[in-house]
Amino acid sequence: MMDDNSHASRIPSFIREAIAEDLQSGRFNYVRTRLPPEPNGYLHIGHCKAFLIDYFAAQEFGGELYMRFDDTNPAKEETEFVKAIEEDAAWLGIKWAKETFASDYFDLLYEWAVRLIKMGLAYVDDQTQEEMSASRGTLPKGTKWSETAATLKPGVDSPYRNRSVEENLDLLERMKNGEFEEGSRVLRAKIDMQSPNLLLRDPVMYRIMNVSHHRTGDKWHIYPMYDWSHGQNDSMQGITHSLCSNEYIIHRPLYEWFLQQLGAFPSRQIEFSRLNLTYAMMSKRKLRKLVETGVVRGWDDPRLTTLRGLRRRGVPPSAIIDFVTGLGETKNDSWVEMAQFEAVIRDHLNKMALRRMAVLHPLKLVIDNYPEDGVEEMDAINNPEDESAGTRKVPFSKVIYIEQDDFRETPPPKYFRLYPGNEVRLRYAYLVKCVGVVKDEAGNVVEVHCTYDPATRGGNTPDGRKVKSTIHWVSAKHAILAEVRLYDQLFTVDRPDDGDVDSIINPNSLTILESCYVEPALGESNPGDAFQFERTGYFCVDSDSQNGKLVFNRTVGLRDTWGKIEQGGKN
């Protein structure tokens, strides 16, 4: 959990200055922000920036934060997602003063729509969606909003635009009561069909949906469009500062028009650049497809950058907060490399994760001159970055496991680990020298034989001789069998939202190692516990772990591997 005061300055300077100016000028005499998630999926890394800016802005100015679920589309929303968003936001450390739903305001929103009809500023339109699109105009593919004035042709008024107030009120009431089929009518605001801003060309306020709502049941047969409910909900709740990403810049004139016509509380919208992270999918629609088609194991699959996936992978919330708030701020959208995120994760785990020894690809090593039944306990440091973490005892015996990569019968150049005739240091234990190997029928080395020097206990060399390599190990007699899941990037392209999901999945994004050995201290660990497997990477205990079978997820390696990925190398 984050300290409410520890990140008080972690909002963009232009937002801080705007809020301070509003308070100084008397535009507002308090600060209230909001988180407006739509409960149609799980939170992902892209949501974190807006959430944290809203949260820290309220904290810095002594204000409060509301959690408001935008449940205006019952066809896609589920209570499951509401609970998940609550839990994920709380895990991130966000605290909110009040929880509300857009549906809490459906009655008042309807009253405001009636007011606009009576003012001659809204009407019921019987055109089809295709007819409305044709009369409003559409942007050519790839056109930026800033180019709308030059590319859009003037709109054409709907033939129903001048219906009488009485007829519009009657039709809207009947729409609400479920007398018409879906798609047969909508309520539109009457603004300006010639506007260069497409959103001001008589936008739809309500559409007919004969769908049961997860909170209001079958009371409503019309549901508000996002652009009608969002700004009005801000006003209804007394939200002073509606902080959102740049895609809503073009929506701001519409929100302000509604508020001005209704004489409602004038919430102020301020935009900032969105978080675009390479190799991270931000589209909830595409994420949902990955889950529903079984490409991933669920919303908490560690290959996803959902908060649930990051949590299960072992990413601490403090790392997410420091990454997002430490990016610096521009008003223009830009891309952040995944390697930058992983560097922050690595830095946090380096300070907090206890060190343990684990052998992922075991090779048996027998110390010929060690007592047959001998067992010693070696002192091992829990975390060299945290003296208060202390030490632990690690059992040592005649037969141990080492990593297969730490032995070569015929070593390549500059290979300083174990090979016939060479001496290495066993971490926290002794120096050993390879004196022979045992091979199977196929000629593969299945057992390495060594001798040890009893005078080198703890890895010391009383005679001052130099040993160039130190390797980790696990006592075979005391080892715990574990499953280790190695996660790689899920997508083969760095901007997965731009491509077809089925064609960009990395078939090697998960490797499961079922015969790993870990030191006995890990037998007391619980799901979510984070460790550094020495010389290997950072891992956490997965929720699939059970008594007698530990499962670990690799959070991140000890070094940056994304440079290799960019060059087409293998992680």
Q: Are residues 55 and 142 in the same domain?
A: yes
Considering the chain, what is the average pLDDT of its residues? Answer: 92
CATH number reported for the structural domain that contains residue 91 in this entry: 3.40.50.620
- Residue 284's pLDDT is 87
Choosing from 442, 472, 502, the residue where a domain stops is 472
φ, ψ for residue 44 (rounded to 5)? -130, 180
- Residue 153's pLDDT is 82
Nearest alpha carbon to residue 277 among 243, 313, 310, 229 = 310
Q: Give pLDDT tens digits for 302-311.
A: 999 999 999 9
Task: Say whether 346 is catalytic.
Answer: no
Q: Are residues 467 and 488 in the same domain?
A: no
Task: Say whether 32 is catalytic.
Answer: no
Q: Residue 30 domain-assigned?
A: yes
Q: Residue 277 domain-assigned?
A: no
Confidence of residue 168 (pLDDT cuts 50, 70, 90): very high
Q: Are residues 104 and 192 in the same domain?
A: yes
Nearest alpha carbon to residue 346 among 338, 335, 356 = 338
Cα separation, 31 vs 50, in Å, equals 16
- Residue 330's pLDDT is 64
Q: Give pLDDT tens digits for 484-517.
A: 999 999 999 999 998 788 899 999 999 999 999 9
- Residue 149's pLDDT is 52
- Angstrom CA distances, 42 to 77, 85, 134, 307, 386, stand at 11, 6, 35, 8, 35
- For residue 9, pLDDT beyond 90: no
At 111, list the tokens. Answer: 């009253």
Confidence of residue 79 (pLDDT cuts 50, 70, 90): confident
Residue 112: domain span: 13-272
Choosing from 224, 241, 272, the residue where a domain stops is 272
Across the range 461-476, mean pLDDT stands at 94
Q: Of 218-227, 298-307, 543-552, which range is least confident?
A: 543-552
Confidence of residue 559 (pLDDT cuts 50, 70, 90): confident
- For residue 548, pLDDT beyond 50: yes
Q: Looking at 115, 174, 207, 274, which residue is catalytic?
A: 274
Cα separation, 333 vs 541, in Å, equals 36
Task: Say whether 408 is catalytic.
Answer: no
Q: Residue 453 domain-assigned?
A: yes
Cα separation, 43 vs 287, in Å, equals 11
- For residue 80, pLDDT beyond 60: yes
- Residue 4's pLDDT is 44
Q: How many Cα atoms occupy the beta-carbon half-sphere of 39 within 13 Å?
A: 26
User: What is the bridge-based pairing of β-strands 445-452 and 362-367?
Assistant: parallel
Across the range 158-187, mean pLDDT stands at 97
Q: Of 64-73, 218-227, 281-290, which range is least confident?
A: 281-290
- For residue 565, pLDDT beyond 50: no
Q: Looking at 16, 38, 256, 289, which residue is catalytic?
A: 38
Task: Kindly write down the DSSP assignment for every residue of 78-113, as one continuous string.
Answer: -HHHHHHHHHHHHHHT---SEEEEGGGGHHHHHHHH
- Angstrom CA distances, 245 to 45, 104, 272, 445, stand at 14, 25, 5, 58
Task: Kindly write down the DSSP assignment for every residue of 45-71, as one continuous string.
Answer: HHHHHHHHHHHHHHHHTT-EEEEEE--
Q: Are residues 252 and 156 in the same domain?
A: yes
Q: What is the Cα 87 distance to its own chain's centre? A: 14
Q: Looking at 136, 284, 313, 427, which residue is catalytic?
A: 284
